[in-house]
Amino acid sequence: MGSYNQLVRRFLPVVLAFTTACAGGVGAPRTGDAGANPLPDASAAQRVPLAVTLSKYGSVKIATSAGASCTLSIRVNAGQFGDGPPATLSGVADTGGVLAWTYPTPLVPAGRSSHFVECADTRGSVTASSDFDVPLKTLDARGFTVRTQSVDVTGLSGVQTQLDPSLVPARDAVLARINAALSNEWSLATRGLGSLNLVAASADIAIYVLPGHGTSFHSLAPDGTQRILLYIVGDNGAISPENAVAVALHELGHIWCCFGPDAGPDAHWLQKIPDPLLQGVDQYGLMTHPVTCLVKPGIESCPNRFSDRELRTMGFTDIPAPAPNPCVSRANELELQLASQKATIDDEKARAAALQVQIQAIEAQYPSRIAPPDVYATYQSLLAQYNGLADDISAKVAVYNALVVQRNALAC
């Protein structure tokens, strides 16, 4: 994505004032009043001052009368998918007559916009306006804002998908999980390099959760504004609330990924390349198609960590190793226990097999089962050792099988 020079304009303060006429008359001086002073200019006494001293996208500052009540209207083109900044703000000037506003500056199309200010005190009201430039903005993975919204069955502008009222409870569960987890999961997915802030309004990008069947996707409008549509039933069936967070991460990743010779026209990697620092279901990162998920009976787990090459497309250069994955750590621990348990079982089975050979040799030598006392004593000792090993092997196999159940239950 190319870089752009920001156009900076300087604006002279805009000063407009309206004069309010006197409400009452003034009596003429009595005859004989010597040296009567002339009355001051009434219009000057009633003037409400107002000057816009700073006007740029996100910041406005004015000078007016002390204690004046003022309203700021922000007139910005939000674009096809953008939220835009707040429409209006209000405030009261301080004792020096100064009032400043700051407001969110979400992603909107670059262009010319305006601020409109109206202030009033006991003498009347006054208005002023000031134009400003909205610079071209690109989203930064290090810090951006997201708004989530549930879509009801009446649908969403520009979306023709038939929605299903029976899926509303599932939609609400998905939305609740995304709201609870997305900020932290973005930080984990970017190895602590990125920050995602969920806001109620004026976001850089919105995620719309729809109670319907469809393929979730990221949309980029010609004017640069963006949005994400997240369906709760995908190509492979219903999406769990936990995996919906992974879907949201994947679609957010499309803000920056994937382009160039290593990516296809659908903005996914052409080749799955394992990241040497990622393990388990995360080893290929988040931006492959189809995304490689772990599917077991009753379990579906999808990746939720960006690979090194994906983080580089976001503009990160000094990329640390990922934090240990507790699930993978537990899986590795169980694998070590299973290997140790299996080695013990195999050793005892070998010993039991050797004992069985000796037992069978005696039985073959004395088919009548009548043997000298010393041979019989040896035979009984061998049987006791064999049966003891058999019991111990059975107990260890039970432990081994329980460990297998624990490992298989892990979704990583």
pLDDT at position 45: 47
Residue 289 token pair: 């198609």
Give me the pLDDT at residue 2, please.
36
**Same domain flag for 93 and 170:** no
Domain count, the chain: 3
At residue 408 the predicted structure's pLDDT band, cuts being 50, 70 and 90, is confident
- Whether 158 and 126 map to the same domain: the answer is no
Model confidence at 331: pLDDT above 60: yes
Same domain assignment for residues 205 and 294: yes
- CB of 187 closer than 8 Å to CB of 142: no
The reply to whether 120 and 72 lie within a common domain is yes
Q: Decide which of 323, 350, 385 is a domain's last residue.
A: 323
Give the pLDDT band (50/70/90) at residue 3: very low
DSSP 200: S
Residue 46's pLDDT is what? Answer: 66
Flag whether pLDDT at 325 surpasses 90.
no
User: Which of 45-54, 103-112, 215-224, 279-288 is least confident?
Assistant: 45-54
The residues that bridge with 144 in the sheet, in sequence order, are: 196
Burial class (CB in 10 A: 0-12, 13-18, 19+), 206: buried
Query: Nearest-CA neighbor of 179 among 133, 230, 224?
Result: 230
Residue 410 clears pLDDT 60, i.e. is over it: yes
The rounded mean pLDDT for the chain is 88
Q: What is the pLDDT of residues 230-248, one digit of tens each?
A: 999 988 889 999 999 999 9
The DSSP symbol for 292 reads -
Percentage of the chain beyond pLDDT 70 is 89
| Of 27-36, 129-138, 152-161, 217-226, minimum mean pLDDT range | 27-36
**Is residue 174 one of the residues assigned to a domain?**
yes
**38 lies in some domain:** no
pLDDT on residue 160: 87
Q: Residue 98 belongs to a domain with what CATH number?
A: 2.60.40.2550
User: Which contiguous run of DSSP H or E holds residue 184?
Assistant: helix 168-189
Residues 193 and 292 occupy one common structural domain: yes
Q: How confident is the model at residue 280 (pLDDT cuts 50, 70, 90)?
A: confident
Whether residue 30 is contained in a domain is answered as: no
Last residue of a domain, one of 323, 338, 361: 323
36 within a domain of the structure (yes/no): no
Contact at 8 Å (CB) between 255 and 207? no
Measured CA distances, 226 to 102, 177, 256, 402 (Å): 24, 22, 12, 49
Q: Percent of the chain having pLDDT more than 90?
A: 76
Residue 302: CATH number of its domain: 3.40.390
- Do 59 and 196 belong to one domain? no
- Contact, 244 vs 182, CB < 8 A? no
> Measured on CA atoms in the order 383, 388, 394, 400, is the torsion positive or negative?
negative
Q: With 50 as the cut, is the pLDDT of residue 224 above it?
A: yes
CA–CA separation, 39 vs 357, rounded Å? 130
Indicate yes or no: pTM above 0.85.
no
Q: Which of the residue ranges 48-52, 69-73, 259-263, 281-285 has the most confident prediction, judged by mean pLDDT? A: 69-73
- In this prediction, residue 144 carries a pLDDT of 98
- What secondary structure letter does DSSP report for 152? -
Nearest alpha carbon to residue 231 among 183, 281, 175: 175
If you ran DSSP here, which 8-state letter would residue 289 be given?
S
pLDDT at 105 over 60: yes
The larger pLDDT score, comparing residue 298 to residue 389, is at 389
229 within some domain: yes
**Is 259 part of any domain?**
yes
Query: 31 falls in which pLDDT band (50, 70, 90)?
Result: very low
DSSP string, 233-273: EETTEEPPHHHHHHHHHHHHHTTT---STTB-TTSSBSS--
* Pair (353, 290) in one structural domain: no
Whether residues 217 and 304 share a domain: the answer is: yes
Question: Which range, 1-10, 46-55, 334-343, 367-376, is most confident?
Answer: 334-343
Residue 8 has pLDDT above 70, yes or no: no
What is the total residue count of the chain? Answer: 412
Whether 361 and 386 share a structural domain: yes
Q: What is the 3-state secondary structure (H, E, C) of 65-108?
A: CCCCEEEEEEECCCCCCCCCCCCEEEEECCCCCEEEEECCCCCC
Query: Would the pLDDT of 38 be above 70?
Result: no
More confident: 296 or 96: 96
Q: DSSP E strands: which ranges in 164-242?
A: 196-198, 205-213, 217-220, 226-234, 237-238
- CA gap 331, 350 in Å, rounded: 28
Bigger pLDDT: 48 vs 106: 106
How far is Cα 295 from Cα 287, in angstroms, rounded to an integer? Answer: 18
Same domain? 294 vs 152: yes
Provide the domain limits for residue 352: 327-409
At 409, the pLDDT band (50, 70, 90 cuts) reads: confident
Strands 111-121 and 196-198: unpaired
Instruction: Out of 40-44, 137-141, 368-372, pick the least confident.
Output: 40-44
Same domain as 158, residue 274: yes
Q: How far is CA 336 from CA 153, 293, 328, 392, in A?
A: 50, 24, 12, 20
In a domain, 401, yes or no: yes
Query: What's residue 199's pLDDT?
Result: 98
Give per-residue pLDDT as tens, 42-82.
344 468 899 999 999 999 999 999 999 999 999 999 999 99
In a domain? residue 40: no
Of 266, 293, 323, the domain-final residue: 323
pLDDT at 27 over 60: no
Distance CA 294, CA 301 (A): 5
Residue 6's CB: how many other CB atoms inside 10 A?
Answer: 9
Pick from 52-56, 104-108, 302-306: least confident: 302-306
pLDDT bin (cut points 50, 70, 90) of residue 89 is very high
- Taking alpha carbons only, the member of 313, 156, 153, 311 closest to residue 227 is 156
177 and 292 within one domain: yes
